[in-house]
């Protein structure tokens, strides 16, 4: 028997129904806290959960755009299980681990999202006081061990520690995995995951909870705050689904996640400043390229020479021309090369000199003092926002960063998009097609 410090809570306190006295004054005042919660953030998250509402949460564990997709998947699973999604911050895995986490609501416009999508959500810092020292014990589902065969533990994430959660995991059933015994795919479908949100299959699948790491508490998966370790690999019908037009996690959720006003306004300001337009005027139409390099160099085994792996600039320029032609044809708008932005994680200055020689504009966060003015997260967030608000976008095949930007340009602006193939010499060789949005 483990003796618990008084601050460890692992059962829902009995919640009295809250009576809100409504007079004219209160009615007119803006609500101070989410209607999905009992009130302002509390020291234990359980004190703030409504007894008439069910919740769902999960953690993140990859690059920022992968993490955006993971939260979109969580929101979609919340939608189909009639639960309020509880969303954490973004963790700085690719921008330097010492940068502070950034709240979801600083990046995306949460109130507009809830209104447009009708998908309910709250952020963790609305639920539990971020300065709380209370450790909440909770039971969660371990999906990771049911879908892959190499790591014999739940998927790790920095989020539970930040939230003061001590988690007892129950390994999910084998039927979570879409393709049984197939090591090259990790998908579990939203509806397989949803089976665990309801008593019939949940009750058949519990009973093997592992002790939590901190206080060695064993708990079956929580029914009030349902949680899964990792949902990046959740899908409706097949893996890498954000690439497909039917993807419900994009259509019903991701599409409605617009940038916060601060991000959108700053991105528009950058575009106007970099192109030399008045700051108080309209943003002109433009095209953005995303040339994803960096750790993608680990996928170059088909390239005979290292320089054959990433698409050379003239190959990218061919895609830019296709976009210019399509926009001219479909919309009658001429976008010159001087209104083409390059965004990239490439650090080689010589490569950037070649970009400028193409007549394109570097989104130069060093020159713009982005980190000093807006913080460490903003170079990547502004690059994504700039990409998403162009009328054309040329992305890098297999980059989730590019995939999300392409979908935004298509759905938000009826824009033109292409993905550049890479990995070996002439990977992007293709026949030009003007009549279609498809990448041939």
Ligand X SMILES: Nc1nc2c(ncn2[C@@H]2O[C@H](COP(=O)(O)OP(=O)(O)O)[C@@H](O)[C@H]2O)c(=O)[nH]1
Contact residues toward ligand X (CB under 6 A) are 62-66, 94-95, 290, 292, 294, 343-345, 379-380, 383, 399-401
Cβ-based nearer residue to ligand X, 66 or 210: 66
292 binds, among ligand X, Mg ion, none (CB under 5 to 8 A by kind): ligand X
Tokens of 415: 């824009």
Cβ-based nearer residue to ligand X, 140 or 420: 420
What is the Cα 410 distance to its own chain's centre?
18
Cβ-based nearer residue to ligand X, 136 or 397: 397
Cβ-based nearer residue to ligand X, 107 or 225: 107
Cβ-based nearer residue to ligand X, 171 or 408: 408
Picking from 37, 77, 70, the residue whose alpha carbon sits closest to that of residue 56 is 77
Separation between Cα atoms, residue 415 and residue 235, nearest integer Å: 26
Cβ-based nearer residue to ligand X, 25 or 347: 347
- Closest contact distance (angstroms) between CB of 424 and ligand X is 19
* SS3 labels along 36-58: CECCCCECCHHHHECCCCCEEEE
Residue window 45-74: x/- pattern of binding to Mg ion, with contact defined by CB under 5 A? ------------------x--x--------
Cβ-based nearer residue to Mg ion, 90 or 286: 90
Picking from 10, 440, 5, the residue whose alpha carbon sits closest to that of residue 225 is 10
Report CA Rg, the chain: 24
- Closest contact distance (angstroms) between CB of 338 and ligand X is 20
- Closest contact distance (angstroms) between CB of 243 and ligand X is 12
Picking from 347, 333, 351, the residue whose alpha carbon sits closest to that of residue 390 is 333
CB atoms within 10 A of CB 265: 12
What CA–CA distances, in Å, run from 404 to 241, 266, 324?
Answer: 11, 19, 21
201 binds, among ligand X, Mg ion, none (CB under 5 to 8 A by kind): none
41 binds, among ligand X, Mg ion, none (CB under 5 to 8 A by kind): none
Sign of CA dihedral 218, 220, 222, 226: positive
Residue number with the smallest Cβ distance to ligand X: 63
3-state secondary structure of 259: strand
- Closest contact distance (angstroms) between CB of 268 and ligand X is 17
Cβ atoms 55, 38 nearer than 8 A: no
95 binds, among Mg ion, ligand X, none (CB under 5 to 8 A by kind): ligand X
- Closest contact distance (angstroms) between CB of 212 and ligand X is 29
- Specify the residue for token string 């297999």: 398
- With b for 16 or more beta-carbon neighbours within 10 A and e for fewer, the 366-394 pattern comes to eebebeeebeebbbbbbbbbbbbbbbbbb
379 binds, among Mg ion, ligand X, none (CB under 5 to 8 A by kind): ligand X
- Closest contact distance (angstroms) between CB of 280 and ligand X is 27
Cβ-based nearer residue to ligand X, 212 or 343: 343
Separation between Cα atoms, residue 440 and residue 430, nearest integer Å: 7
- Closest contact distance (angstroms) between CB of 67 and ligand X is 7
Cβ atoms 124, 204 nearer than 8 A: no
284 binds, among ligand X, Mg ion, none (CB under 5 to 8 A by kind): none
- Closest contact distance (angstroms) between CB of 250 and ligand X is 15
Residues binding Mg ion (CB under 5 A): 63, 66
């Amino acid at each position: 028997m483990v003796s618990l410090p008084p601050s460890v809570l692992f059962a829902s306190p009995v919640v009295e129904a809250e009576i809100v006295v409504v007079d004219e004054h209160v009615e007119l005042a803006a609500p101070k806290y989410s209607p999905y919660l009992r009130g302002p953030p509390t020291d234990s998250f359980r004190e703030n959960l409504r007894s008439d509402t069910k919740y769902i949460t999960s953690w993140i564990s990859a690059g920022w755009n992968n993490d955006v997709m993971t939260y979109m998947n969580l929101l979609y699973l919340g939608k189909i299980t009639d639960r309020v999604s509880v969303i954490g911050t973004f963790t700085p895995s690719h921008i330097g681990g010492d940068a502070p986490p950034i709240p979801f609501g600083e990046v995306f416009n949460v109130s507009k999202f809830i209104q447009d999508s009708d998908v309910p959500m709250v952020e963790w810092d609305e639920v539990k006081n971020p300065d709380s020292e209370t450790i909440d014990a909770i039971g969660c589902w371990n999906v990771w061990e049911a879908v892959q065969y190499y790591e014999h533990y739940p998927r790790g994430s920095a989020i539970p520690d930040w939230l003061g959660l001590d988690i007892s995991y129950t390994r999910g059933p084998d039927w979570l995995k879409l393709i049984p015994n197939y090591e090259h795919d990790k998908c579990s479908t939203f509806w397989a995951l949803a089976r665990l949100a309801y008593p019939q299959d949940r009750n058949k699948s519990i009973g093997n909870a592992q002790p939590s790491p901190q206080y060695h508490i064993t708990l079956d998966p929580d029914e009030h705050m349902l949680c899964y370790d990792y949902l990046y690999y959740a899908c409706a019908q097949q893996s890498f689904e954000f690439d497909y037009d039917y993807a419900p996690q994009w259509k019903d959720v991701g599409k409605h996640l617009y940038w916060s006003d601060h991000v959108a306004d700053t991105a528009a300001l950058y575009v106007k400043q970099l192109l030399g337009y008045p700051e108080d005027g309209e943003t002109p139409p433009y095209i953005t390229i995303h040339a994803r390099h960096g750790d993608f160099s680990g996928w170059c085994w088909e390239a005979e020479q290292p320089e054959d792996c990433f698409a050379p600039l003239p190959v990218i320029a061919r895609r830019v021309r296709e976009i210019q032609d399509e926009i001219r044809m479909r919309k009658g708008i001429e976008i010159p090369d001087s209104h083409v932005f390059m965004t990239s994680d490439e650090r080689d200055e010589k490569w950037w000199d070649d970009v400028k020689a193409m007549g394109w504009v570097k989104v130069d966060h060093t020159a713009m003092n982005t980190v000093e003015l807006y913080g460490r997260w903003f170079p990547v967030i502004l690059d994504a926002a700039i990409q998403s608000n162009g009328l054309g976008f040329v992305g890098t095949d297999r980059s989730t960063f590019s995939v999300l930007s392409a979908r935004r340009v298509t759905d938000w602006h009826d824009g033109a998009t292409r993905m550049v193939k890479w990995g070996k010499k002439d990977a992007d060789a293709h026949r030009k097609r003007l009549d279609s949005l498809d990448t041939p």
